[in-house]
Chain A
């Protein structure tokens, strides 16, 4: 499990806005890094770092929407909160479709930004954890033999050892042996846990 990393990356072409956001977010005890343009952010960001992106839609050069598409293209997963001074429905739809986490109007009302950030961090962390877990599972699944993978698939569909043995034309005893190997290799303690893992892996493939 990686350490919690809750940095807010602020991108806005207006220095006053950048500084204001920094002031507010630091007061809310967040780590803040600011960038004057989308390009600057893309140059320095390390995808291993968790956190959240706060960016203006309307910027000279690469706009907020362009940046979101670029992040998607690079396969990054950092959540994005758009801030716009002229929120119109089409723009909001475009941002959300592109995968924005949320869409907030300028100037800010109440603690909307802080609350949204909280949710974004939580989601980011959950997703990160899931990704890490999935990566481990994938590594373990890679260690399974062909026959073990076959049996795992059948186990995941809820077949009993007897049925599996008949289907594969092997002895009941051999199936039991394979199953204990699979449990061991996948680091699962119970059959229920193994089934959850199998479903997770299956979903990821889909």
Chain B
């Protein structure tokens, strides 16, 4: 390849390096050989992937020179015809990985080496010639391996390793011959030594390739796989390279001019790379750096002054350096670990909050929203960022929310706070929510977390369940009615049947001119008897209805009232009615038909709710009270409604009298007969502007009453 083309390639690679950030530049480089071999002509404009990578190229050159320097022993005739030649392994590896595009880079490296290392002077022209021999020869070997034999760069197949060894032995031969011939032609090497030189070079390169090429290929494979997962690795590697280069640089500055008095003063230069590494890589980095510095120090002293005094003095300095670096590394590692743990914890928390379907808010003691999760946005239909800094009471219809939270937090044994209140969306619509609250933060700077759940569905469920229940009750009532009607029909039909048969029999007898009067009389007597029997049946039935089923049970008044109120819970909640219970302490249980009394209570409660709603008043209070009066439990139910109109007040307990547009007028009539059947009395105590109050009393269960007395 002409030198000018190599120069163009190098120039374009450099230009690209300047243009693009390293990370992105490296990441695109996954194409490998398969992409590169599509280029058929060197004169075509090179695609990006074809151009040598500058980082790789520089690393190659540096390693090449280092390896060449290290292996420069027993050199024949002062040129690098050495018993082993690691740069050859490096070169083959590079060509396998990067392809012929790296020929210029290899040429440069070999040229540099030829101008630096050999003890005998070589003119740049001859140096270039040898460099081109090396680059060209191994490029041919690598191309053959890669394209001719399809070598797998990860050496994953059984035949890959023998291939490399074979290529090393066979490929190094021609290169050795050509190179040694070149040296001989240049007059650097006497022709009579040609054979020995060729053999030594051949063996040296072959060993170098066998030993180093697989190692470099595996390293490359590892780096590439790691880099695929983390593109930043390349940046880290570059940084590491510069860091360790700066250690070597510092050592060169310190000892480069031999051991003199400046060596001690300059020693502190080593702190710079060590501190840098420790800060960047923590304890592992610092440990490695200390190890390298120590090694470099010993090697350097070996070169300049290995006297006991010098070594001891430098080791003391080294002790201080190592201590500083390791301590710093430990602190950095610790900080890093804490940061990771914190980030993980934050990540977990935010993942939970982001995924949660309940709204989660934090507020300060004044009710200002400080944070909110995405569910809040969904619940209230308002972007979270607009909510931050606003008062939580815009969302939650509970003016005393903060007081409740504070009171709960101040309690000696705070319970988890749970409220069922209303929420207001951005569009003004109201929906039921369940709010649970907790406190955090220090005293005087209390903050609260609120977890908000939309319970519309649950309310609907409850309403549905309640409706279902009432439907069941209705159906069972109908079924019972049907059965009762059937039984009743049979009961009454029997005497009626007898009556009609007797009466018709009599009529038949009377048709005849002569008839037996006794028989007719008997028939008529039977008619009367059976008619009386029918009357008895009806009387019995009326008694049955009046006394109800007569099934009395011992019922706890408080439970009775609470059950009833829970039955009307939806109406109460939806209409924001304040139902207050005022139950005397130690109420004795009553002996009543529980279901029937519940009916009475719910009837009175519904009347009260209807009264409150019809008035349109905002003051909606119902008070249910129970106390002992006249050896019975008296239950009163008062509302803050408008009272009962005068014209119906006196007839309110009569059937078919109602104040409601769609009322049947049966509720109070039935309620009164139920209460009376249980031995009590239902009465209207008061009605008017201040509201209406009904009262009824229930008999105390005997046993308990006796035990009380």
Contact = CB atoms under 8 A, between A and B. Distances in A.
Q: How large is the interface on B (under 10, 10 to 19, 20 to 34, 35 or more residues)?
A: 20 to 34
A85 B506 contact: no
B494 A24 contact: no
Contacts of B504: 24, 27, 108, 111
B494 A85 contact: yes
Interface stretch (A13-21, A116-124, A128-136, A183-191): A13-21
Given A58-B490, A85-B490, A86-B490, A24 B502 contact: yes
B506 A108 contact: no
A83 B493 CA distance: 11
Interface string B476-491: 0000000000100110
A28 interface: yes
A26 interface: yes
Interface residues of A, number: 20
A27 B508 contact: yes
A26 B515 CA distance: 13
A23 interface: yes
B491 to A, nearest CB: 9
Given A16-B526, A107-B500, A28 B508 contact: yes
Given A27-B506, A27-B508, A107-B496, A20 B501 contact: yes
B497 interface: yes
B508 A16 contact: no
Nearest to A29: B508
Given A85-B494, A86-B486, A86-B490, A20 B499 contact: yes
A28 B500 CA distance: 14
A20 B505 contact: yes
B505 A24 contact: yes
Interface in A105-149: 106-108, 111
B100 interface: no
Interface in B499-534: 499-502, 504-506, 508-509, 519, 522-523, 526, 529-530, 533
A85 B505 contact: no
A24 B526 CA distance: 12
A27 B493 CA distance: 22
B502 A106 contact: no
B486 A14 contact: no
Contacts of B498: 14, 16-17, 19-20
A19 B504 CA distance: 13
Nearest to A105: B493
A19 B525 CA distance: 12
B589 interface: no
B494 A108 contact: no
B583 to A, nearest CB: 48
Given A21-B501, A111-B504, A16 B494 contact: yes
B432 interface: no
Contact of B505 (A17, A23, A58, A106): A23
Contacts of B522: 23
Interface in A1-51: 14, 16-17, 19-21, 23-28
Contacts of B529: 16
A58 to B, nearest CB: 6
A70 to B, nearest CB: 23
A108 to B, nearest CB: 5
B329 interface: no
A19 B522 CA distance: 11
A20 B497 contact: yes
B316 to A, nearest CB: 115
B495 interface: yes
A175 B477 CA distance: 80
Contacts of A16: 494-495, 498, 526, 529-530, 533
Interface string B523-560: 10010011001000000000000000000000000000
Contacts of A17: 494, 497-498, 501
A17 B501 CA distance: 8
Contact of B499 (A26, A28, A83, A107): A107
Interface string B152-174: 00000000000000000000000
Contacts of B497: 14, 17, 20, 83, 85, 106-108
A23 B507 CA distance: 11
B506 to A, nearest CB: 7
Contacts of A107: 493, 496-497, 499-500
B209 to A, nearest CB: 104
Contacts of A28: 505, 508
Contacts of B493: 85-86, 106-107
A118 to B, nearest CB: 14
A14 B505 CA distance: 18
A112 B496 CA distance: 16
B486 A23 contact: no
- Of the candidates B486, B494, B500, B519, the one having the most CB atoms from chain A within 10 angstroms of its own CB is B494
Contact of A23 (B494, B496, B501, B533): B501
A86 B485 CA distance: 10
A16 B166 CA distance: 126
A23 B518 CA distance: 12
A58 B497 CA distance: 14
A26 B508 CA distance: 10
A106 B526 contact: no
A79 B493 CA distance: 24
A19 B526 contact: yes
A30 to B, nearest CB: 11
Interface string A95-111: 00000000000111001
Interface in B419-475: none
A24 B508 contact: yes
Contacts of A19: 498, 526
A24 B508 CA distance: 8
Given A21-B501, A85-B490, A106 B496 contact: yes
A85 B499 CA distance: 14
B501 A24 contact: yes
A27 B486 contact: no
A161 to B, nearest CB: 60
A85 B498 CA distance: 12
A106 B495 CA distance: 10
Nearest to B487: A86
- Of the candidates B486, B496, B501, B533, the one having the most CB atoms from chain A within 10 angstroms of its own CB is B501
B551 to A, nearest CB: 26
Contacts of B494: 14, 16-17, 85, 106
A147 to B, nearest CB: 60
Nearest to B490: A85
Interface string A51-82: 00000001000000000000000000000000
Contacts of B501: 17, 20-21, 23-24, 108
B489 A85 contact: yes
A1 B496 CA distance: 41
Interface string B661-692: 00000000000000000000000000000000
Contacts of A85: 489-490, 493-494, 497
B508 to A, nearest CB: 4
13 contacts: A14-B497, A16-B530, A16-B533, A17-B498, A23-B523, A24-B504, A27-B504, A27-B508, A27-B509, A83-B497, A85-B497, A107-B496, A108-B501
Given A16-B495, A19-B498, A23-B519, 11 more contacts: A20-B497, A20-B498, A20-B505, A25-B505, A85-B489, A85-B494, A85-B497, A86-B489, A107-B500, A108-B500, A108-B501
The 7 A-B residue pairs whose C-beta atoms are closest, nearest first, are A20-B501, A85-B493, A20-B498, A24-B505, A27-B508, A27-B505, A16-B498
Interface of A: 14, 16-17, 19-21, 23-28, 58, 83, 85-86, 106-108, 111
Interface of B: 486, 489-490, 493-502, 504-506, 508-509, 519, 522-523, 526, 529-530, 533
